[in-house]
Amino acid sequence: MTDFLDIHKTSKTDLRAILTQAADMKEARKGLPKGTPDAGEPLKNQMVALIFEKPSTRTRVSFDVGVRQMGGQTMVLSGSDMQLGHGETIADTARVLSRYVDLIMIRTFEEQTLLEMAEYATVPVINGLTDRTHPCQIMADILTFEEHRGPIAGKKVVWSGDGNNVFASFAHAAGQFGFDLTFTGPEPLDPEPALDGLYNIERDPQKAVQGADLVVTDTWVSMHDPQSARERRHNQLRGYQVNDELMANAKSDSLFMHCLPAHRDDEATSAVMDGPHSVIFDEAENRLHAQKAIMRHCLGL
Ligand code: CP
C-alpha cells in the first residue's frame, strides 16, 4: 500500500514503472470502446472514494472512468456535502473512510489536509491537486511528451506565466526525470522558494523559449487565487502569453501544453492551442491512462 502524494515523494524507479504501465494499458485499449473493461479488471472488488473540495472536470471524470475500466467502483464526494465540510476532523474522516473504501483520491485546498488524510487513512491516498502541487497532471504530461518526442531526460521545458501549483509539480518532475526547466514570469509570481534549485529563471520570455522542446502555461488566476487579484495578475502576466510569436522562438518541433481549463486568448492564444505544436487534448486523455497506473501502483495491483 503506497500513497501518491507528490512526484518528489515517489522514487524514480516507481515513477518510471507507473509511466510504463500507463503506456502499456493505453496500448492494450486501442480500438476498444471506452466503456469496455480492461483485461483482468485489476481493480475488481475495489471501492474508490473521490473527494472534491474544488471544482473539476478532467480529474473527476478521468478517475471515475479509470476505476470503472479497471473493474472497480467509485463514489464521488463533494467536500461541502460531507461532515468534513462541517467541522469533522480530517483525521476522523480518514479513519472512517478507511473502513469503507480501498483507496482515497482527494482534491483540496491546503496541502496539510492531504497530508493529514494520508497520515490517518489506513488505505492509500492520492493527491488530486492542492494549492501547492498537482502531481497526477504532470505524470500525464510526461507520458504525453514521451509519446510524441521520446525520453524527456535532457530536454528543455519552459514554463511561461504564474509560478503556481502545476509549475511546482513540473519542478519536482525536473528533479526526478532529469529535464531542464526554465521559468519565465514576473518576479511577484515566482515559484515558492522551496523549489529553488530545480529550475532556472529567465525574465524575458522570448529568450527563455530559445531551444525549448516544450512550452507550457496555465491559467493566470488559479482556483485558490482571489478573484480580486484578476486585473493585477492580467497586467503582470500579459507579456507572458504563449502566442505564435513566442512559439516561433522555440524549437521548430516544440510541443505546447496546457493542463486545462484554459482562458483562451489570455495565457495562450487559440491559434497556439489549436495549432500544430499543441498536444493539449492528448494531455487531457493521458490523465486517464496515467492515473490508472498510479492507482494500480498505490494498491500494488
Ligand atoms: N487539469 C485539471 O486538473 O483539470 P480539472 O480541474 O478539470 O480537474
DSSP the chain: ---B--GGGS-HHHHHHHHHHHHHHHHHHTTS-TTSPPTT-TTTT-EEEEEESS--SHHHHHHHHHHHHTT-EEEEEEGGGSGGGGT--HHHHHHHHHTT-SEEEEE-SSHHHHHHHHHH-SS-EEE---SS--HHHHHHHHHHHHHHHS--TT-EEEEES---HHHHHHHHHHHHHT-EEEEES-GGGPPPGGGTTSSEE-S-HHHHTTT-SEEEE--SS-TTS-GGGHHHHHHHHGGG-B-HHHHHHS-TT-EEEE-S---BTTTB-HHHHTSTTB-HHHHHHHHHHHHHHHHHHHHT-
Predicted pLDDT of residue 226: 80
Q: Which of 31-45, 187-201, 214-228, 247-261 has the lowest mean pLDDT?
A: 214-228
Query: In whole numbers, what is the pLDDT of the chain averaged over residues?
Result: 96
Predicted pLDDT of residue 1: 82
Predicted pLDDT of residue 130: 97
The pLDDT of 277-289, averaged and rounded, is 98
CA of 56 to the centre of ligand 1 (A): 5
Predicted pLDDT of residue 227: 79
Does 288 contact ligand 1 (Cβ within 6 A)?
no
Which atom from ligand 1 is nearest to the alpha carbon of 128? Answer: 3
pLDDT in tens, 188-221: 999 999 999 999 999 999 999 999 999 999 999 8
Does 280 contact ligand 1 (Cβ within 6 A)?
no
CA of 62 to the centre of ligand 1 (A): 10
Predicted pLDDT of residue 80: 85
Which atom from ligand 1 is nearest to the alpha carbon of 284? Answer: 1
Predicted pLDDT of residue 99: 98
Does 286 contact ligand 1 (Cβ within 6 A)?
no
Which atom from ligand 1 is nearest to the alpha carbon of 260? Answer: 1
pLDDT tier for residue 279 given thresholds of 50, 70 and 90 = very high
pLDDT in tens, 102-155: 999 999 999 999 999 999 999 999 999 999 999 999 999 999 999 999 999 999
Q: Pocket of ligand 1, candidates 53, 54, 58: which has the most ligand atoms within 8 Å of its Cβ, to mutate?
A: 58
pLDDT in tens, 221-236: 877 778 788 889 999 9
Predicted pLDDT of residue 273: 98
High-pLDDT (> 90) share of the chain, %: 93
Does 56 contact ligand 1 (Cβ within 6 A)?
yes
Which atom from ligand 1 is nearest to the alpha carbon of 62? Answer: 8
Predicted pLDDT of residue 221: 87
